[in-house]
Structure 1
Amino acid sequence: MYLTQSLHRALQQDPGAIATIHGERVRTVAESVDRIARLAGALRELGVGKGDRVAILALNSDRYHEYFFAVAWLGAVVNPVNIRWSSDEISYSLTDSGTRILLVDDTFAATVPAIRRACPGLSQVIFLGDGARPEDMLDYESLIARADPIEDTRTGGDELFGVFYTGGTTGHPKGVMLSHRNVIASATGTLITDEVVTRGGRVLHAAPMFHLADFAMWSMGNLVGATHVTIAAFTPAGVREAVAAHGITDLLLVPTMIQMLVDDPATAEVDLSSVRHILYGASPISEAVLQRARAAFPTAGFAQAYGMTELSPVATLLTVADHDRSDLLRAAGRAAAHVEVRIVDPEGLEVPRGAIGEVVARGDGVMAGYWNRPGETADAIRGGWMHTGDGGRMDEHGYVYIVDRIKDMIITGGENVYSVEVENALAKHPAVASCAVIGIPDPRWGERVHAVIVPHPGHTVSEEQVTAHCKALIANYKIPRSITIATELPLSGAGKILKRELRKQFWDQSGTQVS
């Protein structure tokens, strides 16, 4: 299969159907496909060929939809940039991937000069915003208007579709290579496991479209002929207004977003009865928040997806029916239809049901590998099994429970933060002698980034100083939200920092090491 297959089907069967809605812009399937074919032609005229990387740094819009399809239509490779990253992180990912073309909107146009200086291989920047075009950028709409539409290359199967950068255990982001087969398998397998997107419905993209969770929702929407409605970024008011104005049937939100939405008194004043499905992920939802959410969305079924970018992204699903059982609300669900899931010991042998081990997964959703990192790829994928780095257990009915993270990772508000990235930034502060970064419980974000810092003798460091120092080096969501000043860090006999000991004082009351 190939990603653009759904476009040809939609064009053949219902060309007048609404494909995308963004504000006042409404485009039919026929209009959308014509623009996609022209954008692909424009990229080809700029020298983009099969396998070349094309990046986008933008808020959500209908043009993001066109970008995904046009790059695939051309046979090139998408590289969606994390909008929360610092310019250093963005530049690293563009240089590492050898990206030549960058699409950017109004919000991020001001960052382009710094990115250009750091990325000499970046040959062209295309402005897709609605404001005035900067002089040194090409205009998105003009390119589409001038270009001739080209034939779809129908690139698919094991050909590379995208490089999706995620946090790195070495302190730098690493590119996850996903093929057409990977992302289509995950989308179809999830839909087969449970109806989480309405056939012919309206999907709202409120979560960031660079993130693979929202991309999964986009992919599933394409397969069932949905209309894609986009708002620039999540706000409770923006979601409410979109649902009311467009009859939204399906939502992808992280639990933090759900909580913000249902805790806002104005939500109760809006008719949300069009919503049929709410898919969430990144962490389990508390029973109290779920009860409030069900009251706010009385017609919606809730489902939880667990996975990771390296799995394209879905591994397990806690279905709508599962949510009617309170004893399952801490579970991450059971294997989706396209995945095998096991809990294994350090030697890769499956452990008995109920025993704790590492969660591993196998199937067509497992990534092709890490971009230019064969060693890390070989370490992550062993015998076809993707090692998630999550500690978990499986009950006698196949439900998976995540109980710890083997990888040194924090999940805050649905975003992955690798501790080493934050520690590398902190270590550059002149007052910091040593440090350790951990995740601690947070009622709003699930976990928050917390730093334990040992200052150099005679030096002090405050939260304000830490924040100011880190802002230039790492994304805002990675910056520690709280710190502890210590005289020393607990060490093992081999000199390794015992982070479990640091976490213990914060997590003892929860009975787990993850939210």
Structure 2
Amino acid sequence: MIHSLSLSDVLADHARSRPQVTAVVDGEVRLTYPELDARVTRLASALQGLGVSGGDRVVWLGQNAHAVLELLLACSRLGAVFCPANWRQAADELRFVVNDLTPAVVVWEPSEATTAVRDESAASARWVRAGEEYERLVEGAAAREFPQVDDGEPVLALYTAAFAGRPGAALLSSAALVAHATSLLVVRQMEPGFTFLNNGPLFHVGTMMFCLATFQIGGTNVFTPAFDPEEACRLIDAERVTQAFLFGPMIDAVAKANADGKYDLSSLRFVAHSAEWDGMITVDDSPWCRSKMGGYGQTEVGGMLTFLGLAEGGAGFAGRPSPLVQIRILAPGGSEVPAGEVGEICARGKTLFSGYFARPDLNAEKSAYGWHHTGDLGRREPDGTITFIGPKLRMIKSGAENVYPAEVERALKSHPAVADAAVIGIPDPDWHQAVKAIVTLRAQATEADLLEHVRTLLASYKKPKRITFVDEIPKRGFTPDYDALDETHGGGNYPGA
């Protein structure tokens, strides 16, 4: 085991080498690395007392909190798997996650959706309420020694990609997460004292990858439940935050919230955006920020597979591969296509995931010919850089969230009045794309009826912004003719287009 380095090992070393560094800030909670290490040890002991052992799953149903990082690190110490579920999802979606993962323990924050799922699933898992009950669990456990865990074992599960209308849990090992964090912190040029504001959702790899890179370099992770522009300004000022999870509309909202200059945001070393924004922050000159945080990635590769910052001035707008991976552009039969031709982006290397939880057929398909098949099309340019063309399977990008038409279509078709449904993405000035549904009816129903039905089944960002009723949906074989629907109903702005 002398070559193993788990997340738990990284924490234990930080506790020794960074005894005075603040690891976590969450409201009134401030923990140094030794204090975080001690809490994680007690939490691991408490989870073990609740029956969690190697390979078992622990689920978090709630917003951002330092408990997310603690639970991940405790699972690493036990050899268990931690899943921060999407708290924005409806009860039906969360019910699927709990039934799919069959967790030993669920730590939850009360909401209409989580309470409904808890009432149905309390007998199949131990449910621990976040807050006072969670704190009693941690404080009441005794510290003990844990054997070292193989860093190749899965430790983090993130749900992604709606296969056949339902998502799958991508399993990432400590080895993959440490490798990805190391690659990211090099390209981002993180230094001691780096402080990250976890204001984006931690069930999203875009936030989680920076949380773990900050942890890897021994920096400070600041947690806030969800994005609020005024609170983001306050925390950036108070904690001297270096980076936050921000993109276009969020940046505009923060700039607007600080239009009067009430907060000092100069510690934020971030990408240039607008005259107002650039005047508030320190425009960063790292390869990551110079390239506008560009590249190509997905959950299954730990976050980023390529970085535009490694190929400034290159022909391909996805850049070059992360230092610890290989990329090939493959034809359907597994052969590499020549430069300039389009094929599937395939990868292997240190940051790759361990497969999807309980999806053996899918795992075999996605790892054919010894490469991870991303499901996305790309092209290698003559200078060796990569261009991302777009998903093989259609996807809608709304803000930072991926919306899969099959998932929304499944929800619409579950309404008794809906005979058929197809979902497309339409351009949106603020969120890049919005969801639009084309529906045929077998009984009377209004747009409001269907939107309310979808709202009860899916997260709000997946709900169609508008619905058009038609007599018939054009098909290619058994599937909707999405190109025809785009042309007729204003679709466009898809990722990679």
What is the TM-score normalised by the length of structure 2?
Answer: 0.90
- What's the CA shift for 1:91? 1.5
Cα deviation code 1:346-396 (max 9, x no counterpart) = 223333333332222221222211111111111112223222222233322
Cα deviation code 1:5-28 (max 9, x no counterpart) = 221221111212211111222111
User: Which one of 170, 173, 179 corresponds to residue 179 of structure 1?
Assistant: 173
Cα deviation code 1:109-156 (max 9, x no counterpart) = 554442134335533211222xxx6xxxxx111122221112243323
Alpha carbons of structure 1 residues 153 and 77: separation in structure 2 relative to 1, 3 Å: farther
Write the letter of the residue equivalent to 2:75: V
- 8 Å Cα contact 1:453-1:484 kept in structure 2: yes
Residues 471-490 of structure 1 aligned to structure 2 (within 5 Å): 471-490=455-474
Write the letter of the residue equivalent to 1:309: T
- State the partner residue of 2:446: 461
- 8 Å Cα contact 1:41-1:150 kept in structure 2: yes
User: Which one of 226, 230, 235 corresponds to residue 228 of structure 2?
Assistant: 235
Gaps of 5+ in 2: none
- State the partner residue of 2:299: 309
Cα deviation code 1:459-490 (max 9, x no counterpart) = 3532x222101111112111111222222222
1:502 aligns with 2:472: no
- State the partner residue of 1:126: 128
- State the partner residue of 2:41: 37
1:244 aligns with 2:230: no
Residues 86-97 of structure 1 aligned to structure 2 (within 5 Å): 86-97=90-101
- 8 Å Cα contact 1:3-1:156 kept in structure 2: no
Give the 3-state SS of the residue equivalent to 1:449 in structure 2: strand
Give the 3-state SS of the residue equivalent to 2:440 in structure 1: strand
Larger displacement relative to structure 2 (202-211 or 313-322)? 313-322
Write the letter of the residue equivalent to 1:55: V
- 8 Å Cα contact 2:302-2:352 kept in structure 1: yes
State how far apart, in whole Å, the 1-side matches of 2:278 and 2:311 are: 13
Residues 100-111 of structure 1 aligned to structure 2 (within 5 Å): 100-105=104-109, 108-111=110-113
Alpha carbons of structure 1 residues 352 and 63: separation in structure 2 relative to 1, 3 Å: same
- 8 Å Cα contact 2:185-2:213 kept in structure 1: yes
- State the partner residue of 1:357: 343
Alpha carbons of structure 1 residues 83 and 113: separation in structure 2 relative to 1, 3 Å: closer
State how far apart, in whole Å, the 2-side matches of 1:237 and 1:394 are: 43
- State the partner residue of 2:369: 383
Give the 3-state SS of the residue equivalent to 2:480 in structure 1: coil
State how far apart, in whole Å, the 1-side matches of 2:392 and 2:467 are: 23
Write the letter of the residue equivalent to 1:496: T
- State the partner residue of 2:326: 340
State how far apart, in whole Å, the 2-side matches of 1:244 and 1:204 are: 11
Give the 3-state SS of the residue equivalent to 1:67 in structure 2: helix
Alpha carbons of structure 1 residues 404 and 123: separation in structure 2 relative to 1, 3 Å: closer
State how far apart, in whole Å, the 1-side matches of 2:17 and 2:495 are: 50
1:368 aligns with 2:354: yes
Q: Paired residues, what number?
A: 487
State how far apart, in whole Å, the 1-side matches of 2:256 and 2:484 are: 34
Write the letter of the residue equivalent to 1:306: Y
- State the partner residue of 1:222: 215
- What's the CA shift for 1:501? 2.0
Larger displacement relative to structure 2 (216-225 or 258-267)? 258-267
- What's the CA shift for 1:251? 2.3
Residues 75-90 of structure 1 aligned to structure 2 (within 5 Å): 75-90=79-94
- State the partner residue of 1:417: 403
Alpha carbons of structure 1 residues 378 and 320: separation in structure 2 relative to 1, 3 Å: closer
Alpha carbons of structure 1 residues 187 and 488: separation in structure 2 relative to 1, 3 Å: same
User: Which one of 254, 257, 260 corresponds to residue 250 of structure 2?
Assistant: 257
Write the letter of the residue equivalent to 1:461: T
Write the letter of the residue equivalent to 1:394: R
Cα deviation code 1:482-503 (max 9, x no counterpart) = 22222222222x3432112222
Larger displacement relative to structure 2 (217-226 or 197-206)? 197-206
Alpha carbons of structure 1 residues 506 and 432: separation in structure 2 relative to 1, 3 Å: closer
Write the letter of the residue equivalent to 1:213: G
- State the partner residue of 1:114: 116
Give the 3-state SS of the residue equivalent to 2:221 in structure 1: strand
Alpha carbons of structure 1 residues 24 and 265: separation in structure 2 relative to 1, 3 Å: closer
- 8 Å Cα contact 1:101-1:122 kept in structure 2: no
User: Which one of 13, 16, 20 corresponds to residue 16 of structure 1?
Assistant: 20
- What's the CA shift for 1:259? 4.2
What is the TM-score normalised by the length of structure 1?
Answer: 0.87
Alpha carbons of structure 1 residues 354 and 294: separation in structure 2 relative to 1, 3 Å: farther
